[in-house]
Structure 1
Amino acid sequence: MKEDNRHQETIQCPVCLSNAFLWLLITLLALPFAGAKGQCVMENNAFLPGERLQMDVYFKWGLIMPKAGNVELLIDNAVNGPRNGNGQNGAAYRYRLLFKTTSMFDHIFKMRDTIDCHYSKEMQLLRSEKRVNEGGKYLVDDLKFTYNEGLTRVRSLRYNLEKTKIDTVLVSEDCMTDMLGATLFLRTHDISAMRVGDVIPFRIAVGRDRVNVRFRYAGQSIVEHGDNVKFKTKRFYMDIFDEAFTETKEAIEVWVSDDGNKIPIKIKAKLKIGSAEVKFRSISGNRHPLTSRIVIPSR
């Protein structure tokens, strides 16, 4: 298998910005998989096909905090997913992320990212395809997952229009997911029994690396959303061992809705080039009522 030198290219700020965006997207619904059963099998009691979640991304430098991008997360029934051993469509769900920078940020560093994840009916991740067009450069990450003998194996392929950059296999005794796939663990995990200080580690396949990530529960919190709306949330710290962040401990704070949907309401991150926030905008097709939302009557 063909592999490139991991130290061949010097990381530039736009690349750090790109990585930061991707790590922020991990947390859009994220929590660990301590409740996962068997070989990364999860029970879906949080969403239905047809759900659509929209978020806004902001970056802060000094006193200014402009809107940097828009995120859309879609869950649908899979139509043309990965094939199983019988040549049949083995996927039941398609989980898709669409991200684009705003027109203002397009002049700084234009980004158009798409991530497609296909899951079996048991909620096992089968394949993840990430296509990015960032700063005029096109790149594809293709991850194929198999589960047997108590191991998770990931065929990781990364390429652009000119060459293959990574072609390797990652193996883990623990359940391992991709960047976007990590986001479904919160929604399939019972967080009601978690206590302040609980720590749960997990792994994410990124290129040739198995990135270690862990979450720490920080308790309940109220998040303001506009002038007359508040959300009851549960707050988590996310520790990431990746070079895109200034510090690994408490690299990201996540506030998720304290209801059956467990959707992200607010995400805050410290980055090498400043800080970033992702804020909930809207949701449709949600399985459960958004009971965490509190509307304050106008005076």
Structure 2
Amino acid sequence: MKAPLKFFKILFIWAIVLGLQNAFSQSQKSFQEGEWIKLKMSYSGWLKAGEATLEVKNAKYKDKPVYHVVGHGKTTGPISWLFFKVRDRYESYLDKETGLPYKFIRQIDEGGHTKDIEIEFDHTNKKAHVNNKKHNVRETYSIEKDVQDMLSAFYYLRNNYDTDTIKEGDMVALNMFFDEENFKFQLKFLGREIIKTKFGKIKSLKFRPYVSAGRVFKEQESLTLWVSADKNKIPLKIKADLAVGSLRAEIVERKGLKHPFPIIFEK
């Protein structure tokens, strides 16, 4: 069973863009240093599959103050010791004003499949300098304007897209660079819902990314995302229908949020 392995890639690619079209102007940022979020994952609704965390820190990159975002993902329980173990770490250093990434780090161990990649972005010359540390290979690629990595995109878009005027069916696209490839990500706004969480009922915004059907997904529209309909715009729930079974991720812990986290009814 490799579905949970695929889901960690989904989580860190798609959960990072949960903020697409559901954030607001840079003058009122949606996050701050110290924000920390934890999501729990399950397979087919009952089997514990793993957990993931996202954390925002203050740091310096080449003497410039930046946000240092760190994401961790791992399998737990039976999935980890019966099938395979996943230990993933992602990092992004992003400009505090523009939200553009300066450096991205991907260190993964997924059932013995490992990668250790660092990417430095030169937005002025539209280049990405990729250092494959595992194979000791350095290459340079052309990138699109205002390109984002898989972590920085989440935080950039939380601060730069307005949700007050979005309508059901609206689409948004974003330039992204992952490993050695440029691609355009699209997301469709499905509407507003009140969903149950560990903390109580919360107003949410519902989205659907458009992904390629094939070995992992049942069809093109098989991934659904819910984010909080407040000023924080944090991920609440992810549901993915896979070729075999389904996977869910739900928020279980949060701290250091910049804004109040409104709950309609306490649990």
1:77 to 38, 58, 66: 58
Identity %: 23
Paired with 2:154 and 2:188, the residues of 1 have a C-alpha distance of: 15
Q: Which stretch of structure 1 is more off in the superposition, 181-190 or 50-59? A: 181-190
Q: Which stretch of structure 1 is more off in the superposition, 193-202 or 129-138? A: 129-138
- Measure how far apart 1:187 and its partner are: 1.7
Q: Which residue of 2 aligns with 1:131?
A: 107
What value does the CA root-mean-square deviation take over the aligned residues?
2.7
Q: How does 1:1-299 map to 2 (within 5 A)?
A: 14=2, 17-29=4-16, 30-32=18-20, 45-60=29-44, 65-79=46-60, 81=61, 83=62, 89-107=63-81, 108-122=83-97, 123-148=99-124, 152-160=126-134, 163-164=135-136, 167-172=139-144, 174-188=145-159, 189-226=161-198, 229-241=200-212, 245-246=216-217, 249-291=220-262, 293-296=263-266
- Measure how far apart 1:56 and its partner are: 0.6
Paired with 2:77 and 2:56, the residues of 1 have a C-alpha distance of: 27
Paired with 1:27 and 1:220, the residues of 2 have a C-alpha distance of: 19
Tell me the alpha carbon deviations over residues 147-184 of structure 1, each in whole angstroms, 9 at most, x when there is no partner: 126xx422233342xx2477341321x43212222221
- Measure how far apart 1:20 and its partner are: 3.0
Paired with 2:223 and 2:39, the residues of 1 have a C-alpha distance of: 16
Query: Is the 1:56–1:278 Cα contact (8 Å) retained in structure 2?
Result: yes
Structure 1 unaligned blocks of 5 or more: 1-12, 84-88
Paired with 2:215 and 2:140, the residues of 1 have a C-alpha distance of: 23
- Measure how far apart 1:212 and its partner are: 2.6
Paired with 1:250 and 1:209, the residues of 2 have a C-alpha distance of: 22
Paired with 1:43 and 1:120, the residues of 2 have a C-alpha distance of: 15
Secondary structure of the residue that 1:92 maps to in structure 2? Answer: strand
The amino acid that maps onto 2:265 is V
Paired with 1:235 and 1:206, the residues of 2 have a C-alpha distance of: 25
